Structure 1
Amino acid sequence: MVEEHPGYRPRRERRTGRAHRDEAEQPARRDSARASAPAKPRFDVISAFGELLISAGLVVALFAFWQVYVTDWQVANAADKQVAQVEDLFGAVPNRISTDERTSPPPAVSPVSYGQLMGALHVPRWNQMVIPVREGTGHDVLDTGAAGHYPTTALPGEIGNFSVAAHRRSYGSNFRRIDVLREGDPVVMETKDAWLVYHVTRYRIVAPTDGQVVLPVPDQPGVAPTQRLMTMTTCHPEYGNWQRYIVHLELHHWVPRNTGIPKELAEG
């Protein structure tokens, strides 16, 4: 038996207000922990499709950059070498301006095999740009940085329609500035024996299927030609290919190559 002192009370276990609160808050804490736990990732079809579109857009952009700019750098040296080959094939030109301008029939140009050099095209309006010209218009020709001669059309200087094609963008971008040519502008075709000076007569935009632009008499099938014409063709618009930009020219005069360069090329 325990003797109790006056005022002494045995300790009893009792729940304090804090203990009650802790017990009451435990379910809420568990709920909060479950709510703050990271949710399991779920496959989102829309997000995945969006990422695919972004990736595809990046691939297209990189391909376009390569197609437009990298290919230009790739063929720059090759095009310069082809122009140098023209002088190797035809011989050096006297370093003077020729005054020997003729309107008689120019010297005949011998046909060459597919892919072979046949001369060079000089365009004063394009900062005296010089473009090698090869036989044929396949990609294996145009992708070398050259303009290509349509094999079924007249040879340079002949009666008929001497017609050439070139890339507007990529692989040299030779005809990129075709839209700045205006009526009366000279374009000079250099052959083994002559400088053939053509003048622009008109320009237009047509469908890619309009092959009549390179007929002996453009747009007039079956008509016999009487003039010495030239046609330049390329893609349109500049960064597209769903149309064609066409420039028609007519031979104005020619200059014997062994007498010097024509005045049209003097500034270059």
Structure 2
Amino acid sequence: MRAPGVVHHGTRRRRAAYRRALWSGAEVLVTVGVVLLLLVAHQLWWTNRQARHGAERKVQALEREWGRSGTPATGSAGSAGSGGGAGSGVGATAGGGGHGTAGRSDSSGNGNGNGSGGGGGSGRTRPRWSQAYAVLSIPRLSLRVPVAEGVSKADVLNKGYVGHYKGTQQPGQAGNFALAGHRNTHGEPFRYLPRLRRGDTITVETKEAVYTYTVDRTLPQTSSRDVGVIRPVPRSTVRPSYGYSRPGYYITLTTCTPEYTSRYRMAVWGTLTSMRPR
């Protein structure tokens, strides 16, 4: 018969092994937690910092290339060709592909966008794939960001740029100049897109001219595959009451919604109200 209070060596070893297992498990959980926090910090802070700095440098480089610097003039010398085109409904959407893109997502490496690289149907050379060739400015959002050809994540959007949809028109041309940008991470240029209101201005600068669009419609949410929002006469195929009914000179800004998801798209539409040559 075992005396009270006496613990066998086997029991001690089992208890020691149990404590070691608990300690090891706790260490693993702490390590995993730290790694996850670092990943979140990288996505939400470092990618934003890196992309914003890169985008700012690209804007400065374009300004030097164009032989000027500073903020854009938004002069009204020269009105849009046909008054921007009226329509029915109250908004636009972004549909499709990857984060921040509408209807379809272009892969890197092939093709060029339609229209001229300098806008206004001037017949100039089309921008190369992933080339930054314009600057988008939105005063209400304190935003000034490069516009590049295509909506590839790796080559355009993840650099903090705004991407131009292949197949849509260039700035100042009749039709739809359609753009996509990240809502969260990688510079998140379109994070505050929902703050835009009717009457806000959007300026697009190219080497040849400065184009000013005026916001007049917003589609808060639609399917990620709603390609109608980037057509020449933009109108949602999912929510047909949102959009336009006749040709004009349009701009479409698309991004993901709600924040930190890519399930749906939203878009802001505007019409061209002025343009001036450089």
Establish whether TM, by shorter chain, passes 0.5. yes
Identity, % of aligned positions: 30
The letter for the 2-side match of 1:218 is P
The letter for the 1-side match of 2:48 is D
Aligned length: 228
1:159 Cα deviation from its structure 2 partner: 0.9
Alignment of 1:134 onto 2:142:
no
Q: Could you list the per-position Cα deviations for residues 137-183 of structure 1 after superposition, in whole angstroms to 9, with x for gaps in the alignment?
A: 00121112211100111111111110011111111111111111111
Contact 1:125 1:185 in 2 (8 A): yes
Alignment of 1:195 onto 2:210:
yes
Which 5+ residue runs of structure 2 have no aligned equivalent? 82-118, 238-243
Alignment of 1:67 onto 2:80:
no
- Normalised to the residue count of structure 1, the TM-score between the two structures is 0.72
Q: Distance in 1 between matches of 2:70 and 2:26?
A: 64
Q: For 1:64, what is the secondary structure of its paired residue?
A: helix
Higher relative contact order (CA 8 A, sep 6+): 2
Contact 1:147 1:164 in 2 (8 A): yes
1:244 Cα deviation from its structure 2 partner: 1.2
- What's 1:210 paired with? 226
The letter for the 1-side match of 2:215 is V
Q: Could you list the per-position Cα deviations for residues 46-92 of structure 1 after superposition, in whole angstroms to 9, with x for gaps in the alignment?
A: 99999877765654443232112111122233111110122123222
- What's 1:121 paired with? 136
* Pairing partner for 2:65 from 89, 93, 102: 89
Q: Could you list the per-position Cα deviations for residues 95-132 of structure 1 after superposition, in whole angstroms to 9, with x for gaps in the alignment?
A: 996755321447435321101122100010012x2100
Q: Distance in 1 between matches of 2:203 and 2:5?
A: 84
- What's 2:197 paired with? 182
Q: Distance in 1 between matches of 2:255 and 2:77?
A: 30
Q: Distance in 2 between matches of 1:246 and 1:234?
A: 6
- Normalised to the residue count of structure 2, the TM-score between the two structures is 0.70
RMSD over equivalenced CA pairs, Å: 3.4
* Pairing partner for 1:170 from 158, 180, 185: 185
- What's 2:110 paired with? none
Q: Distance in 1 between matches of 2:161 and 2:72?
A: 27
